[in-house]
Amino acid sequence: MRAAGMSEPSFPAPLLPGEPLRPFDPRWIGEYEVLRVLGEGGMGTVYYAVTSRGTPVAVKVIRAEYVADPGFRDRFLREIRNAQRVDPFCTAAVIDVSTGDTPFLATEYVDGPDLRRQVTEGETLSGNDTKRFAIGVATALRAIHHAGIVHRDLKPGNVLLALHGPRVIDFGVASALLGRDTGDVRTEPAVPQWLTPAFMAPEQAQLALHGGQVEITYAADIFAWAGVVVYAATGRTPFGDGGFADMASRVRFDPPDLRELPADLEPIVSRALHKDPARRPTARQLLSSLLGDDEPDPVRAGDAEARRGWETTVVVGLPAAAGQPDAPGTHAGTGDAGTDTASPPPRPRRAGLLVATAAGAAVAVLAAVLWLALKPQAGARLGACPTVTLQTGQANTPYYNYGTVLKRHIEARYPGTTVNVAATNGTADNLNRLQDGASSLCVMAVSQLNTTVDARFGVNQFDNEPLDALRTVGPLWLDLVHLMVREDAPVTSAAQLCGRRVSSGLLNSGSRQIGEVLIRNVLSCPVTIEPKGLDSSLDDLRTGRIDAVLWAGGAPTPQITRAIGAGLRLRMLPLADYLAPMARNWDDYYRPLLGTRFVAGGVYETATITSRDYPGVGQVPTVGAPNGLVVNQSADPALVAFTARDLVEHRADFEGALWGDDSDGRHFETANRAITTSSVYCLIPLAPEAARYYAGIGIQPACDRH
C-alpha cells in the first residue's frame, strides 16, 4: 500500500527508433499502430509500427503519385508476392501487403543501422568484416534473383546491419514502380526518382539519359553490390561524387577507384564492376569466388545471366524529379534519388567492428551463409542448367513474348532452373551469340530460320564466318513481312519505293536480311536502306523522315499496334506477288553454293495480314519466313529435349503469346507440316535430342526420309 502523497515511481520511456510523428502522419495503417517515422524518400514513407500484440514492424506507404498509376496496384501486388518467395534469412521478411486506398508493405522490423548511417555516423568496416559483409549481401542477392526479382536500387540505405549479418531490403518495389506492363512502357529518357546515381549500373545510366531499348537485369544488382562493398570498406563510392550527368558518365566510361579495398576482394569487385553486364559474375559465382571456389567466367562458361546488348528491352523509369534525402537512421531505404549521390569523406576503420558483434554470431553468420549458398535448389534442375538464357528479339515483339512463355514452362517444371529472357537486336545478333560452344550450353535463340541458314554457311551478313554448329530445336510460326507506308503516301506497291528511303530493321536482324533480298535482289532498284529499330522507324515514318518501314515479325506486332493507336495511319503493301521471285533468288544463290547438299523448297510461304491484326488495316497478302528455336550443337541435351516436346504439346500457349485469348481460329503450323515440308530443317539439322523426339512421334525432315 502506497502512503498518501507518495508519487508513482518514474521509469524512463523505452527509446524508439526514428523520428516523432508529424501532424499529417497517419496514426494507424491497416491494423498497425504507427509510432515513429523511420525514413522518407522517392518511393514513399517508412514508419515504425506495432501489431496488436506489440510486435514491431516496418510499414512502407507508397507515394500518392505512384498509386495514381492505373496499373500500379496489380504490379505492386505481383512483385510483393514474388518477394515473399525470397529466403528471409538475409532479408526483411514480408509480413503483410495492401493494395487498397493506401497501398502499403509491412515487413519484419530489423533492429540495426543501415550501412549508410553506419559509415556516416560511425566507421567503415575492416578487412574480415568487409568480407563477411560482402558474403552476406551476395547471399541475399542470390536468394532475391532465385525468386526472379531484380532489385534495381541496391545501395547502402537498403542494407541493414543486423546482429546476425546484413539484410537487404526494398527488393521488388522498384519493379512495380517502373511500370513493366505493356501500356506503361515508354522510350523517352527518364530518371526514376528512386535511382541512386552513385550505385547505378552503366546500363541504368544509359537508359535514364537516352531512353531507348535497354533491359535492366540481375547484372545491374551485381554492379551495385560491388559499389556497396567499396563503400562499406572505404567510405566512398567507386566512381566518386557528382551530379547525375557527371556520375552517369563516370559509371559508363571511367575505371573504378578500388584503393583501400582488401586485396582478396579487389579482383572479385573489379569483375562485378565490368561495364558489359554480360561479363559480370552472377550472384552464385560471386559467392563461389568469395568462398574460394571460383566458377569459370560467366560468358566463356555459358552461365551468363545477362548477355544483352545496349539496345534491348524498353524499360524506363518515372519522370525526372528531385528526390528527398533519407532521414538519419532510415530503417527501410526508401529509394531516393539523392541520398547516396555524394560520398562522405573516408572514415577511419574500426579494427574490431563486426557485422555480427560477437565472435560466436560471426561464426553462425558464415555457417548459415555457407549452408544457404550450397544447399540444393528447391525442386529439380533442367539438365546441367541452373540458368537458361533465351535470346529473343526487340522488347515486346513476338520473339520476346515467345521467350516469356518458354521461361514460364521451364521454371514451372524445374524450380531449380532460372530462365532469363534476353531482349536483343534480332536473329543475327542471337546467332552470333551462339558461336562459342563452351558458352552456349544453356542458351537458346528464337530465330528466323532462313537467316539461320545464312549464318550456318557464312554468307550475306555472316560473310566468311560460318556458324556450322547451329542446330534447330523446333518450329514456332512465321515472320510475316510488313511493308508499311503512310496512308497518305503516293505509294501502292513495293516497286514504287525505288529511289526512296526505307528502314528494314537493325543490322543484325532477320528483317534486314529479308529487306536485302526483296529490295536489293528482287526489285533491283536504288533504295536507301536505313538500319533502325522498329519503334524509331515508325517514329521516322510518322514525321516523314523515311518513306517506308519493312519489318519481318509475327502479326500483330505490339509496337505497330501502339503506333496505330497513337494516330499513325498506315498502308500495308501487298507482297504475295514477290514470293516466287524471292524463292527463285534463294534457289539461284544456294544451289551452286551448296551443290549436292542443296535442298529446295519451303523457305518462304504465303501469309496474310488481317484486319484483326491491326485496326483500320485491311487484309493484305504477304510473304512469311519460318521461325523457330536454334541452339549450338553443344546445348544441354535435357534442355533441347524438353523444349522440343514443349513446342509440340503446348503450342496453344505460344499462339496465345501472339494472338492472346482470341486467335480468330488461327493456329501455328504443326511441327509435322513445318519440319516435313521446309528445306530449312535439312539445311540446319535438328539437334540430336530434338530429332529423336520428333522421330518418336513420326516426324522427320524430308531429307531424312528414305
Q: What is the pLDDT of residue 527?
A: 85
Q: Give me 508's grid cell.
A: 543484325
Residue in 129, 153, 170, 535 annotated catalytic: 153
Q: With bands split at pLDDT 50, 70 and 90, how would you rate the model's confidence at 97? A: confident
What digits encode the pLDDT tens for the residues 166-182?
999 877 555 544 444 32
Query: Left if phi > 0, otherwise alpha if psi is -120 to 50, otherwise beta: which for 589?
Result: alpha
Q: Which of 328, 350, 374 is the last residue of a domain?
A: 374
- What pLDDT shows up at residue 82? 64
Q: Which amino acid is at 540?
A: D
- Residue 637's pLDDT is 93
Q: Are residues 324 and 393 in the same domain?
A: no
13: how many CB neighbours lie within 10 A of its CB? 6
Q: Which helix (H) or strand (E) holds 608?
A: strand 605-609
Residue 614 has pLDDT above 80, yes or no: yes
Among the candidates 320, 349, 374, a domain finishes at 374
Question: Which CATH number does the domain housing residue 49 bear?
Answer: 1.10.510.10
**Residue given cell 527463285 in the structure block:** 584
For residues 318 and 402, membership in a common domain is answered with: no
Rg (CA), the chain: 28
CA–CA separation, 299 vs 281, rounded Å? 9
Do residues 277 and 300 share a domain? yes
1 has a pLDDT exceeding 70: no
Ligand-binding annotation for 60, yes or no, is yes
Most confident of 156-165, 328-337, 342-351, 565-574: 565-574
- Is the same domain home to 366 and 305? yes
Same domain? For 329 and 445 the reply is no
Do 322 and 470 lie in one domain? The reply is no
Q: Residue 194: inside a domain, yes or no?
A: yes
**Which residue in the block uniquely carries the three cell numbers 519440319?**
675
For the whole model, what pTM was predicted? 0.49
Q: Is the pLDDT reported for residue 338 higher than 70?
A: no
Residues 567, 545, 186, 188, CA torsion sign: negative
- How does DSSP classify residue 239? T
**CB neighbours (10 Å) of residue 680?**
26
Please report whether residue 534 resides in a domain.
yes
Identify whether the C-beta of residue 455 lies closer than 8 Å to the C-beta of residue 431: yes
Whether residues 326 and 411 fall in one domain: no
Question: Do 309 and 391 fall into the same domain?
Answer: no
* Residues 407, 421: Cα–Cα separation, whole Å: 7
Q: Report the sign of the C-alpha dihedral through residues 362, 363, 364, 367, in that order.
A: positive
The confidence band for 345, taking pLDDT boundaries of 50, 70 and 90, is very low
C-alpha cell recorded at residue 277: 553486364
Q: Are 1 and 299 in contact (CB under 8 A)?
A: no
Specify whether 489 is located in the same domain as 347: no
CB atoms within 10 A of CB 233: 26
Task: Identify the pLDDT of residue 191.
Answer: 53
Residue 475: pLDDT band (50, 70, 90) is very high
Answer yes or no: do 347 and 422 share one domain: no
Closest-CA residue to 273 (of 172, 216, 200): 200
Domain boundary residue among 315, 346, 374?
A: 374
Look up 588 and say whether it is catalytic. Answer: no
What is the DSSP pairing of strand 387-391 with strand 443-448?
parallel
Of 295-309, 518-532, 616-630, the poorest mean pLDDT is in 295-309
Whether residues 142 and 239 share a domain: the answer is yes
Q: Is residue 17 part of a domain?
A: no
Q: What angle do CA 666, 668, 671 make, to 5 degrees?
A: 150
Q: For residues 589-600, give the mean pLDDT.
A: 90
pLDDT of residue 43: 66
Measured CA to CA, the distance from residue 212 to residue 527 in angstroms comes to 26
Full residue range of the structural domain in which residue 472 is found: 387-704
Cα(592)–Cα(127) distance, integer angstroms: 67
| Count of structural domains, the chain | 2
What's the Cα-to-Cα distance from 458 to each of 138, 449, 699, rounded to whole Å?
A: 42, 14, 28
CA–CA distance from 68 to each of 302, 340, 496 (Å)? 42, 27, 48
Q: Is the pLDDT of residue 3 over 80?
A: no
